[in-house]
Amino acid sequence: MAQFNTNVFGPVRVTRAVLPHLRGRHAGTLVFLGSRSGWFGDPFCGAYSGSKFALEGLVESLRWETEPLGIRTLLVDPGRFRTAFLDPAGNLGTAVSRVPDYREAYQTFLGHIASEHGRQPGDVAKGVEVIVDLVRREGVAEDGAVPFRLPLGSDCYETVREKCEETLRVLQQWEPTIRSTDL
């Protein structure tokens, strides 16, 4: 519940508060922070990934609802950026697995996360600079072509590329079966 309150219901509440003002102006930009985890559900991250997948769907729908009103929507999906997010002594909330079958794998996962803290590939300052450029349509976005959804970070790029390639393979391999279910 905490993950969904923070990552889904919080942005929904803020959006509901600000949208009347943007609709009145017929202008503005809504910026949402998705995640690499909105593309790929890592093991033992179901609540976090689920909340980010939910945010992706809500924001994509919102985009189509508000675009005709002159309101832009930007969904940024950062990968692992060097923040305190993975700090085992701080922000990272963990629990002991109550399922014996998962304990060893979960402890291994926590060790991996702890070892990654401070070694994430993303530079926060560079990521923020790109986001600001996208909103202002300056710098990397000075030509005005701003995508609705933008993955940020080399790890997110690889995850999204692999997921898209896998999806295309399934579509190609299973096309006859997929299409066979039509009336």
Tell me which residues are annotated as active site. Answer: 48
d(CA 76, CA 46): 20
d(CA 183, CA 48): 38
Q: Which two tokens stand for residue 121?
A: 């590939």
The helix, strand and coil proportions of the chain, stated in percent and rounded to the nearest 5, come to: 60, 10, 30
CA nearest to 30, candidates 42, 20, 22: 22
**DSSP state letter for 44:** T
- Beta-strand pair 29-33/72-78: parallel
At a CB cut-off of 8 Å and minimum separation 6, what does 31 contact? 74, 76, 131, 135
- Beta-strand pair 149-152/29-33: unpaired
